[in-house]
């Protein structure tokens, strides 16, 4: 006689019992055998998904998987280097252009800032127009037209000549605080004489 677990109530009972003494299940040993057999059959089915494939089919399949993996890895690596190369050569040109742009932008913003410093009411000022007249090395000559309040609070338009030098401390950082000059010129100016005088005053070369 051996002890089994009743499949209905889980009690430990004799495998000889006609009925489970706890829950009354008829022929519990027989029921348990059927349940175990069914469970084994289900597990075997799951295992057969792989084991069912014949050996002659398994080897080419495994080989194909390895070859496919290698092809994918090589493709990814080659793609990475191809992208990196074009990107780095493009970004070199781009960074040069960007640097030139940020240098010009620094000059442009700087010219307006210089004019603002010469106004009675910088906070009221508004940029109307700005032209780059000339460049010489790192120096920029701008014509700047602004609206701003005079000492009576009236909004007045004025025209300025500004020269400033733009230098960089590092590849992408520029500042314009070198050799700054500003001169208010005639309303529709500057005239050629005004430009000539201004250049002389600021040592423009």
Q: Does 23 bind Zn ion (CB under 5 A)?
A: yes
Angle at CA of residue 143, ends 173 and 120, nearest 5°: 90
Query: By C-beta, is 20 or 182 nearer to Zn ion?
Result: 20
Count Cα neighbours of 110 within 13 Å in the Cβ-side half-sphere: 25
Helix H or strand E encompassing 33: helix 28-51
The residue count for binding Zn ion (CB under 5 A) is 7
- Given the rule CB under 5 A, which of 21-29, 42-50, 104-112, 155-163 is the region that contacts Zn ion? 21-29
Q: Does 9 bind Zn ion (CB under 5 A)?
A: yes
The 144-163 site mask, x for binding Zn ion (CB under 5 A), equals --------------------
CB count in 10 Å sphere of residue 194: 17
The one-character DSSP state at 19 is B
Q: Which residues pair with 19 in a beta bridge?
A: 26
Applying CB under 5 A, which of residues 14, 17, 22, 104 lies at the interface with Zn ion? 22
Q: Which residues bind Zn ion (CB under 5 A)?
A: 6, 8-9, 20, 22-23, 25
């Amino acid at each position: 006689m051996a002890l089994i677990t009743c499949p209905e109530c889980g009690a430990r009972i004799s495998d000889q019992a006609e009925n489970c003494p706890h829950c009354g299940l008829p022929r519990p040993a027989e029921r348990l055998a059927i349940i175990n057999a069914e469970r084994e059959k289900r597990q075997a089915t799951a295992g057969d998904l792989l084991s069912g494939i014949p050996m002659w089919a398994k080897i080419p399949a495994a080989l194909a998987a390895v070859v496919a993996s290698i092809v994918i890895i090589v493709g990814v690596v080659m793609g990475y280097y191809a992208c990196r190369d074009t990107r780095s050569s493009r970004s070199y040109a781009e960074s040069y252009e960007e640097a030139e742009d940020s240098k010009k932008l620094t000059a442009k913003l700087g010219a307006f800032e210089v004019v603002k410093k010469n106004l009675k009411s910088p906070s009221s000022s508004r940029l109307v127009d700005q032209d780059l007249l000339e460049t010489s090395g790192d120096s920029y000559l701008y014509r700047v037209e602004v609206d701003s309040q005079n000492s009576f609070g009236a909004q007045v338009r004025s025209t300025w000549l500004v020269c400033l030098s733009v230098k960089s401390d590092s590849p992408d950082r520029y500042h314009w605080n070198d050799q700054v000059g500003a001169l208010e010129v005639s309303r529709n100016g500057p005239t050629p004489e005004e430009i000539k005088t201004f250049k002389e005053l600021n040592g423009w070369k």
